[in-house]
Amino acid sequence: MKNAFHVCLAAFVAVYAAGCGDDSASVPAKTDAPPVVEEESFDSIIQRGVAAVAQKDVASAVAAADAALEREPDSAEARLLSGQAAFLAEDYDRAKSEFGAVAKADLPRPVRAQGFAGLGLVEFARHNVDVARILFLRAQLYDSKNASAPYHLGLIYRDTYHFYEAALLQFQVFTRLSNPTEPRTQTVGRKVIPELRDQINRISVERPGASARNPGQAAKLIEEAQALEAKSRLTLAKNKYAEAMKADPFSYPAALGYAKLLKRLGKTATDVDKALSAYRVAIDQRPEVQKNYLEAAQLAYVNKRWATAVQIMDRSVAHDASARNRDSFDVLIGALIKAGNGKLAKSWSDYRAELGK
């Protein structure tokens, strides 16, 4: 491959302006010899294609991509340019083929990341959001500096899954990675992130019971519940945690204590419902605590509530898709298989297999 890669899926920019000569240069003497036409270099073709994509000039982008592939058919640069040109032309089958070739090739990880991000764009455009999400996560896995991945994950978590805290984290990563002078970066920093923060705060304030909280009373009841739990008087402790939740519906220790004891002591479907509801409250208050997702999803799983387990684990991996969260992926994959979604389970299994490589 030639030189550094010119193609970046996060943003294509025009480079070089033609004809930067010195106006004072003398005119060459006239000659009868035919003019020598120099063959356009491969790098020049790539640069021309990148500029065409940035300008959304579909015909010129496709022409440059075809010329690059004709010159060097095995070049990752040419493949990436061809994929982006095809994407611009809405030829998604060709775009998927080109990006897939780069993603699967034996190439440096940042280059393969561009292939995965391109595949994510294709699936995103086709409204296959669940698959697009995994592909963008694979792009992040292969290159933590790929800016396209967190931007599109932010969109997916905000608009499809409504995981607003996870969306906020992804958009913050995007602003750190992207060029601060680009309009998209400025829009995310000045508009998208503040709006997300406002939405998260608004949801918290508008939850049922928000106006009638009594944190002091809840703290006293939690202390009593913990003392009873220490003496193994678990049923009484469970009831005290329930009272604490009534006093403060947003109390993290009350919700978590109640959920854990219901999970341990509950025998009916209603008990499972109440435990899962309490776990959701705890997760809403501390979405970064992974063990709560895992406990809740395992409870749903053993009670054959496959869809609920998937929903819980979807949110879990939105907050942590790293190798340290492998157990969550196992539950997610198992629940998807039980729910009859083997294809998506396979995509997550492929992603999990790459963790730690």
Q: pLDDT category, 341, cuts 50, 70, 90?
A: very high
pLDDT of residue 32: 56
- Check pLDDT > 60 for residue 19: no
- Check pLDDT > 70 for residue 257: yes
pLDDT of residue 35: 56
- Check pLDDT > 70 for residue 240: yes
Residue-wise pLDDT tens digits, 189-238: 999 999 999 999 998 888 777 778 899 999 999 999 999 999 999 999 99
Q: Domains of the chain, with CATH numbers?
A: 1-16+40-129+137-143 (1.25.40.10), 147-206 (no CATH), 208-281 (1.25.40.10), 287-357 (1.25.40)
Average per-residue pLDDT for the chain: 89
Residue-wise pLDDT tens digits, 314-323: 999 999 999 8
pLDDT of residue 207: 79
- Check pLDDT > 90 for residue 18: no
pLDDT of residue 356: 74
pLDDT of residue 200: 93
pLDDT of residue 34: 56
The span from the CA of 261 to the CA of 250, in Å, is 18
- Check pLDDT > 90 for residue 158: yes
